[in-house]
Amino acid sequence: MRNPYYRHVVGRSMPQTEYRHPSEADIEAVNDVLNRSEREIPLHRDETVSETSQYTFEEDDYDPKGFLLAVVGDEVVGYGGSHVNDHRIKAGKNDAWITVEVAPEHRGKDIERHLMGFGLEYLRSRKVATAHRWCVGTEGWRHELSKDFGFHDNRHFFTLVWTGDEGPALLALPAGFGFAEAIFREASDEEVIAFATAMNQAFADHYNFAPRPPESFLKWRETDENISRLSWVSDGDRVVGVCMCAESVPYNKENDTKVGWANVLGVVESHRKRGIGRALLSEGMKWLSDRGMDTIYLRLDAENRGALDLYTNLGFKVHSESIGYVLELD
């Protein structure tokens, strides 16, 4: 059933707020309102305009008609809608994520509800079957907005943290496997594509995963603001395990911290339970520690108990929890 509130809100006068689709000329305003809205989220760091542009107007499947700007006077105060990713549709995932962000001082004035309602109507017009929302934490206005529109709590995710003055002991790879690494910005196209291909294979059986085009990693390489490193393990000519760690350069400058992230860790199914993932992560943690990082974060599906055991055995602890919401569309 469609949410009746949406039909009500778009049919009434909202004299102080105007809505229009974004254009490329609005990219700085989009970047600004996203950062203003998300600064309250723990571990947030402001995105650059080029980063925001990469997953909006520079994406081949980004449709500005799927988003609205909320404008009060000459100020953009909200941005919301939905981006239907072609690579997920091709993989059989008839779904999309809803984005709704509103500057704090303009919340509670129906803007967030208008943006949410529009995003859902857009997905229905595209005959998308499922809408997703990922909300940091377990409470707050984003959670309440999702539940008000009929989303249900579907999946939980943990952010884990490791702290220490010295890196963990390095764990050896099993005999017969090769190890290689490259700074992301300096990696060749061939290395990046091989990494992305192996990552897609490693995550193929993970919850709601759809393979990402390797070309998206090449774009990411050009805009990455962190000092990121790719590492991989090979069995002969085949890459069977991958890890990506990053020194969070902009975040650390903004917050006077020494934080790093383990952003990717995966092993193809045929090569799991041999110690490859554990060795890759310990080596990545040691690399971050050697660069002066005293805090390392990572995120994982809370239901992936095997991965959780691996991380806690290496000294990680649960830092916070987030919720993935789902709404089946009619």
Same domain, 126 and 243: no
Same domain, 49 and 170: no
- Is 131 contained in some domain? yes
Look at the chain and report how many structural domains it folds into: 2
Domain end position, chosen among 150, 179, 211 = 150
pTM (two decimals) = 0.91
Same domain, 83 and 129: yes
pLDDT at residue 12, as a whole number: 44
Range of the domain at 208: 160-321
**Which residues 6+ apart lie within 8 Å of 89 measured at CB?**
none
- Is 218 contained in some domain? yes
Same domain, 119 and 173: no
Tell me the residue ranges of DSSP E strands in 172-294: 178-183, 227-235, 238-247, 259-267
- Is 155 contained in some domain? no
Q: Do the beta carbons of residue 214 and residue 238 sit within 8 Å?
A: no
Label residue 43 by pLDDT band (50, 70, 90). very high
Same domain, 118 and 19: yes
**Which residues 6+ apart lie within 8 Å of 2 measured at CB?**
120, 121, 124, 330
pLDDT at residue 169, as a whole number: 85
Give the whole-angstrom CA distance, residue 132 versus residue 144.
14
Question: DSSP class of residue 45?
Answer: -
Give 188-232 pLDDT, tens digit per residue.
Answer: 999 999 999 999 999 999 999 999 999 999 999 999 999 999 999
Give the up-direction half-sphere exposure of residue 322: CA atoms within 13 A in the CB hemisphere.
17
Give 4-30 pLDDT, tens digit per residue.
Answer: 334 334 444 445 899 999 999 999 999
Domain end position, chosen among 102, 125, 150 = 150
Same domain, 64 and 131: yes
The arithmetic mean of pLDDT across residues 306-311, rounded, is: 93
CATH code of the domain in which 37 resides: 3.40.630.30
The enclosing H or E element of 100 equals strand 95-102
Same domain, 136 and 259: no
